[in-house]
A and B are shown apart, each in its own frame.
Chain A
Amino acid sequence: MAKLRLTVNGAPSNIDVDDDTPLLWILRDQLGLTGTKFGCGVGVCGACTILENGKALRACQIPAAEAASRSFVTIEGLSPDVSHPCQRAWIEEDVAQCGYCQAGMIMSACALLREHPEPTDQLIDSVMSDSVCRCGTYPRIRKAIHRVAAEMREKKIAP
Chain B
Amino acid sequence: MKVSRRDFVRTVALGTAGLVVGFNSRNILAGASGSQFSPNGWVKIDIDGTMTLTIGKSEMGQGVRTSLAMLLAEELEADWTRIKLVQATPSPGSDLGTGGSDSMRSSWKPLRQAGAAAREMLAAAAAARWKVDRASCEASHGAIVHTPSGRRLEYGALVADAAKLPVPGNPPLKNANDFKIIGQRTARIDGPDIVTGKARYGIDVRVPGMLHASLERPPWQGAKVKRMQEEKARAVTGVRAVIKMSRGIAVVADTTWAAIKGRTALAVEWDDPPKNAFDSEAHLKRLEAASREIGFITRKEEPPPGTAAVTKTIEATYRYPFYAHAPIETMNCVADVRGDRCIVWAPTQAPERLQKQVAELLGIAPAKVEVNITLIGGGFGRRLAVDYALEAAEISGAAKAPVQLLWSRSDDMKHGHFQAASVHYLSAGFDAQGTPVAWKHTKAGSFHNISPLDPKEVQDTAWYQDWSWGAYDVPYAFPAIQTAYVTVDLPVKHGPWRAVFAPSSVFAREAFIDEVAHARESDPIAFRLEMLRGTDVIKAGSTTIDRRRLRRVLETVRDKSGWDGPVPKGHGRGVACNAYFGHTYIAYVADVVIDKEGNVRVERVVAAVDCGLVVNPIGVEQQMEGGIIWGVSSALKGEITFRGGAAQQSTFADYEVARMRDTPEIAVHIVPSDLAEPFGMGEPPVPPIVPAIANAVFGATGKRVRRLPIRPKDLA
Residues on A facing B (Cβ under 8 Å): 1, 18, 20-22, 25, 28-30, 32-42, 44-45, 47, 74-76, 78-82, 86-87, 90-91, 94, 96-103, 106, 124-126, 128-129, 131-142
Contact = CB atoms under 8 A, between A and B. Distances in A.
- Going nearest first, the 6 A-B pairs with the smallest beta carbon separation are A35-B197, A100-B377, A98-B61, A136-B629, A136-B626, A97-B61
Interface in B293-334: 326-330
Nearest to B663: A138
B194 A99 contact: yes
B622 A97 contact: yes
A45 B196 contact: no
B60 A136 contact: no
B630 interface: yes
B191 interface: yes
B629 A101 contact: no
18 contacts: A29-B255, A34-B197, A38-B203, A39-B330, A76-B197, A82-B192, A82-B195, A98-B375, A99-B193, A99-B377, A100-B377, A101-B328, A125-B661, A128-B659, A135-B626, A136-B629, A139-B665, A139-B666
A153 B257 CA distance: 43
Contacts of A1: 237
A79 B328 CA distance: 24
B582 interface: no
A81 B191 CA distance: 11
Given A34-B204, A75-B197, A133 B328 contact: yes
A140 B260 CA distance: 35
A78 B196 contact: yes
Interface in B621-666: 622, 625-630, 651-653, 657-663, 665-666
Given A25-B257, A137-B625, 8 more contacts: A30-B255, A34-B203, A40-B652, A42-B409, A45-B328, A101-B328, A101-B377, A102-B195
A137 B626 contact: yes
B190 interface: yes
B159 to A, nearest CB: 31
Nearest to A125: B661
Q: Interface on chain A toward B: helix, strand, loop, or mixed SS?
A: loop
B254 to A, nearest CB: 8
A18 B625 contact: no
B327 A134 contact: yes
Contacts of A28: 256
Contacts of A75: 195-197
Contact of B196 (A30, A80, A137): A80
B341 interface: no
A120 B237 CA distance: 48
Contact of B328 (A47, A78, A87, A128): A47
B60 to A, nearest CB: 6
B198 interface: yes
Contacts of A80: 196
B61 to A, nearest CB: 3
Contacts of A101: 328, 377
Most chain B beta carbons < 10 A, residue from A87, A97, A102: A97
A21 B257 contact: yes
A22 B622 CA distance: 34
A37 B329 contact: yes
Contacts of B197: 33-36, 74-76, 103
Most chain B beta carbons < 10 A, residue from A86, A99, A102: A99
A72 B60 CA distance: 29
A140 B326 CA distance: 21
Contacts of A97: 61-63, 622, 626
Contacts of B327: 98, 100, 134
B255 A96 contact: no
B618 interface: yes
Contacts of B652: 40, 44-45, 132
A49 B60 CA distance: 22
Contact of B657 (A18, A22, A134): A134
Contacts of A136: 625-630, 658, 663
Most chain B beta carbons < 10 A, residue from A39, A126, A132: A39
B46 to A, nearest CB: 25
B196 A40 contact: no
Nearest to B621: A94
B255 A91 contact: no
Contact of B377 (A20, A35, A98, A126): A98
Contacts of B190: 96, 99
B660 A124 contact: yes
Contacts of B238: 18
A18 B187 CA distance: 43
A30 B206 CA distance: 11
B198 A128 contact: no
Contacts of B329: 37, 39, 98, 100
Nearest to A75: B197
A132 B328 contact: yes
Interface in B277-304: none
B22 to A, nearest CB: 28
Contacts of B379: 98
Contacts of A126: 661
Contacts of B441: none
Contacts of A125: 660-661, 663
Given A40-B652, A94-B622, A126-B661, A134 B256 contact: no
Nearest to B332: A38
B657 A132 contact: yes
Nearest to A103: B197
A140 B206 contact: no
A153 to B, nearest CB: 22
A28 B63 CA distance: 26
A41 B618 CA distance: 33
Most chain A beta carbons < 10 A, residue from B204, B376, B622: B622
B378 interface: yes
A76 B328 CA distance: 20
B61 A34 contact: no
Most chain B beta carbons < 10 A, residue from A44, A47, A91, A100: A100
A134 B194 contact: no
Given A134-B327, A136-B630, A32 B206 contact: yes
A96 to B, nearest CB: 5
Contacts of A82: 192, 195-196
Nearest to B618: A94
B186 to A, nearest CB: 9
Nearest to A145: B660
Interface string B69-93: 0000000000000000000000000
